[in-house]
């Protein structure tokens, strides 16, 4: 009604043209929206009715999670990083279905959501549910193995134990020259150079967690040489940079993920490691069960997955897939170590728990 009115009032000569123009533009805009909505709808039709799972957490598990999520057909899985604590936190809050963690769950994870920290046992499992009703269940899905490497011409440091690594890598009376490291025969009076991951990497944390007592606690006994900033530790986020630096420098030492060593055979020398004394173990797929610098990677779910809901069924099948031979076959390709190499029955034990419900 108003519109008619206005047309009467509008005696601008271009009135009709303008009306036409509005129509054109609105038609254009509408067309655009229809196309857009159509695109979204088409996207919906073209995708199936699989449930969506959210997997989040440790950036160490991230590439592995993405690979499994891609190969697994039973669900659409969104994978994101953010760290182990973030993963457990999201799971406990019910925001995520799968929480990735490169460490065990701790009492502090329960505390963060207002729960009782005494419910969490030292093996990373809980004896009761967190306030939101989520009761995390731990799955060990793969192993992360860390390799300490030196230059191929290095003949004196092919075996190292934790206390020697401590002397080389921490600020507690650090060795400046190779011959200052105790127990190395034939070590030259040459400066040690460290090429290794930076603070941001999970590998860094894992390495120092192994060699520094109480790492990350108030009672931590020493700092890393990167933190003390004495110029010996050259950090890099790129394994390739570390590899090339050690390849080029006879007196260099460093560490990175074991998988990267396998990808680049013969370029640098892997150091045999002992926790203490001289029971050195060479890092290799065959010895991974006894090699000290190997850690399990976990995925936490809300209780044992049950098949009664579509989502529960998807989680059940996903875990089943991860623990199957097929799922485990991906692990070395991404750069980690299969469960079977560490403990032949670990996968099947967990599978039978899953099946027993």
Residues in the site for other proteins, rule: CB under 8 A? 1-2, 5-6, 9-12, 14, 17-18, 21-22, 25, 29, 36, 39-40, 43-44, 47, 52, 54, 56, 59, 62-63, 65-67, 69-70, 76-86, 89, 95, 198-201, 205, 214-220, 223-224, 227, 229, 234-241, 334
- Kindly state the smallest distance separating residue 279's Cβ from other proteins, in Å: 29
Q: Which residue's CB is nearer to other proteins, number 51 or number 188?
A: 51
Q: Which residue's CB is nearer to other proteins, number 23 or number 355?
A: 23
Give phi and psi for 303, each to the nearest 5: 70, 180
Q: Which residue's CB is nearer to other proteins, number 200 or number 289?
A: 200
Which residues make Cβ contacts (< 8 Å) with residue 40, sequence separation at least 6?
A: none
Q: Which residue's CB is nearer to other proteins, number 21 or number 355?
A: 21
Per DSSP, helices labelled H in the chain are: 2-9, 15-46, 62-71, 84-92, 107-112, 162-169, 202-211, 225-228, 239-248, 258-263, 310-323, 325-334, 339-342, 346-356
Find the radius of gyration of the CA atoms of the chain. Answer: 28
Which residue(s) pair with 60 in the sheet?
Answer: none
- Kindly state the smallest distance separating residue 240's Cβ from other proteins, in Å: 5
- Kindly state the smallest distance separating residue 334's Cβ from other proteins, in Å: 7
- Kindly state the smallest distance separating residue 190's Cβ from other proteins, in Å: 20
* Measured CA distances, 63 to 58, 196, 226, 338, 342 (Å): 10, 20, 26, 15, 21
- Kindly state the smallest distance separating residue 320's Cβ from other proteins, in Å: 18
How many beta carbons lie within 10 A of that of residue 132, not counting itself?
A: 15
Q: Which residue's CB is nearer to other proteins, number 52 or number 290?
A: 52
Using DSSP, state whether 302 is helix, strand or coil. strand
How many beta carbons lie within 10 A of that of residue 78, not counting itself?
A: 14
- Kindly state the smallest distance separating residue 213's Cβ from other proteins, in Å: 11
Q: Which residue's CB is nearer to other proteins, number 197 or number 292?
A: 197
Give 189-201 as a 3 state SS string: CCECEEEEECCCC
């Amino acid at each position: 009604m108003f519109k008619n009115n206005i047309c009467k009032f509008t005696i601008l000569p271009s009135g009709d043209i303008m009306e036409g123009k509005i129509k054109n533009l609105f038609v254009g805009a509408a067309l655009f929206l229809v196309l857009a909505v159509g695109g979204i709808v088409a996207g919906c039709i073209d995708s199936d009715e699989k449930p969506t799972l959210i997997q989040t957490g440790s950036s160490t598990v991230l590439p592995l999670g993405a690979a499994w999520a891609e190969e697994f057909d039973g669900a659409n899985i969104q994978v994101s990083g953010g760290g182990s604590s973030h993963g457990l936190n999201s799971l406990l809050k019910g925001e995520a279905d799968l929480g990735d963690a490169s460490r065990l769950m701790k009492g502090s994870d329960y505390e963060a959501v207002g729960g009782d920290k005494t419910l969490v046992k030292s093996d990373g499992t809980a004896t009761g549910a967190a306030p939101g009703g989520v009761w995390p269940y731990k799955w060990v899905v793969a192993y992360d193995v860390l390799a300490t490497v030196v230059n191929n011409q290095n003949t004196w440091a092919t075996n190292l134990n934790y206390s020697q690594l401590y002397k080389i890598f921490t600020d507690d009376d650090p060795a400046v020259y190779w011959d200052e490291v105790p127990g190395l025969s034939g070590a030259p009076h040459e400066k040690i150079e460290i090429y290794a991951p930076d603070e941001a990497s999970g590998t860094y944390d894992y390495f120092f967690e192994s060699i520094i007592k109480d790492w990350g606690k108030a009672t931590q006994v020493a700092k890393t040489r990167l933190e003390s900033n004495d110029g010996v530790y050259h950090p890099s986020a790129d394994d390739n940079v570390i590899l090339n630096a050690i390849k080029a420098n006879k007196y260099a030492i460093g560490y990175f993920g074991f998988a990267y060593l396998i990808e680049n055979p013969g370029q640098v020398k892997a150091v045999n490691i002992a926790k203490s004394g001289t029971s050195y173990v060479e890092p290799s797929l065959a010895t991974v069960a006894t090699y000290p610098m190997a850690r399990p990677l976990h995925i936490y779910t809300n209780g044992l997955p049950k098949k009664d809901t579509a989502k529960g069924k998807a989680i059940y099948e996903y875990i089943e897939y991860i623990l199957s031979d097929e799922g485990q076959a991906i692990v070395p390709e991404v750069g980690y170590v299969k469960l079977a190499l560490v403990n032949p029955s670990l996968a099947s034990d967990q599978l039978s728990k899953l099946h027993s419900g």
